[in-house]
Structures are given as structure tokens and as C-alpha cells.
Amino acid sequence: MGPNGSVFSLANCCSPSLNTYLEGGVAARVSQSVNFNPGVAVYVLSNVSATLSFGLGGLSYDSTIQYDREGLYMGESNDSKLSFKFNILAINIGINVHLWSYE
């Protein structure tokens, strides 16, 4: 049983990412994103629950700085996105062990 004697509860899996890379030596790109995966948790034991969640969307931010072949600054571009879309291929199944006691 979970908190307050419940068997089911809501769950959310949040997955942040940060990528930095150079493109051919003339562009530096930084990409950041946070994805949200809401779902449900079913308590199997008092401190063990199984979770099922699916991809719903997220936030992303991209920044690119461009240089010419001599290394002089040419310009930059910033892009941000907020997407809400159901991703059928992003289904997560997991088991959680809760290390605290509800008593």
C-alpha cells in the first residue's frame, strides 16, 4: 500500500538533456531539453511500485554561434520550442523501491 492506503498513484518522469558540439569548426551549438512523461504507479508491496508512463512533450532550447574559416564572429541564432504531443514510441515501464516508511 502507498501513502494513505492507496494502491494507485500518479507518476511523472522528467528527463533533462544537455548537448554541446562543434559543426565543422565553424559553428558551436548548445542544445538543452526537458521532456515530460506522465503516468500511473501501482503499489505491489508497501514500498515497491510499478510505473507505466508515456511521452507527452517538453521544452527545448537551441543556441548556435557561427564563425567564418578565419575564426571571426559571423552571427548567432537562438530557438526555443514547447511541444505537446503524444509519443506512442516513448513508453516507459519501471519498478520503484521507496526507501522511506509511511508509518
Domain boundaries, the chain: 3-97
pLDDT at 77: 92
pLDDT at 79: 94
* Cα gap 47→102, rounded to integer Å: 9
Query: What are the tens digits of pLDDT across the range 23-54?
Result: 776 888 899 999 888 899 898 887 888 999 88
* Cα gap 61→16, rounded to integer Å: 12
pLDDT at 102: 59
Using alpha carbons, select from 37, 40, 65 the residue that is nearest to residue 51: 40
Least confident of 15-29, 44-58, 63-77: 15-29
* Cα gap 103→43, rounded to integer Å: 16
* Single pTM value for the model: 0.63
Burial tier of 37 (Cβ tally within 10 Å: 0-12, 13-18, 19+): buried
pLDDT(56) > 90: no
Using an 8 Å Cβ cutoff, are 21 and 6 in contact?
A: no
